[in-house]
């Protein structure tokens, strides 16, 4: 079983509910066992223009599914929840593989670890909550070390209820 960290984001509708529903759906995929989901965090959009704030979280799961097939399952989950990639950048759900064990994959369809992990507090805050000492397989930096480097960005933890 591979240990996988998943990034979850939403800026349409009820973000917390969207993240929880996506996490529930991931746990229903054959060969995926969801373990823990971080608190939800809110932040402004990064790398895009949107008036909608994002709700983000990270989760840890174990899987028997190879990384490319897991990516396909994540994309299918996005579509099933109503994401339309042709309708602009706002999204009801966005699911990303952040880490897949300590694998390093760089390709046109799949890059692991996710190439923007070290630059985005909205990813690092939930990662540091779940696994502060987890090391990035390329840089060797922990989630907490990377988080400290981008603390000038603003994210706010929000309750699930």
pLDDT score at 48: 66
Domain interval for residue 94:
2-158
Contact 154, 42 (CB under 8 A): no
Interacting residues of 85 by C-beta distance below 8 A, sequence separation 6+: none
Whether this prediction's pTM lies above 0.85 is answered by yes
Domain count, the chain: 1
Name the more confident of 52 and 7: 7
pLDDT at 21 over 80: yes
* H or E stretch at 99: strand 94-100
Mean pLDDT for 70-74 is 97
Residue 99, sorted as left (phi over 0), alpha (psi -120 to 50) or beta, turns out to be: beta
DSSP 135: B
Domain at 126, CATH number = 3.30.70.560
């Amino acid at each position: 079983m591979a240990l996988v960290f998943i990034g979850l984001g939403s800026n349409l509708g009820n973000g917390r509910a969207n993240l929880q529903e996506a996490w529930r759906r991931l746990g229903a995929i054959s060969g995926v066992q969801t373990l823990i989901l971080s608190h939800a965090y809110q932040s402004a959009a990064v790398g895009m223009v949107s008036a909608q704030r994002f709700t983000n979280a990270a989760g840890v799961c174990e899987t028997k599914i190879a990384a490319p097939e897991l990516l396909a399952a994540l994309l299918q989950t996005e579509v099933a929840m109503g994401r339309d990639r042709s309708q602009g950048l706002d999204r009801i759900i966005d699911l990303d593989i952040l880490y897949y064990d300590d694998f390093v994959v760089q390709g046109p369809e799949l890059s692991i670890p996710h190439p923007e992990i070290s630059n985005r507090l909205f990813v690092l805050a939930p990662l540091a909550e779940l696994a502060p000492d987890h090391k990035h397989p390329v840089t060797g930096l922990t989630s907490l070390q990377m988080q400290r480097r981008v603390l000038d960005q603003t994210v706010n933890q929000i309750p699930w209820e």
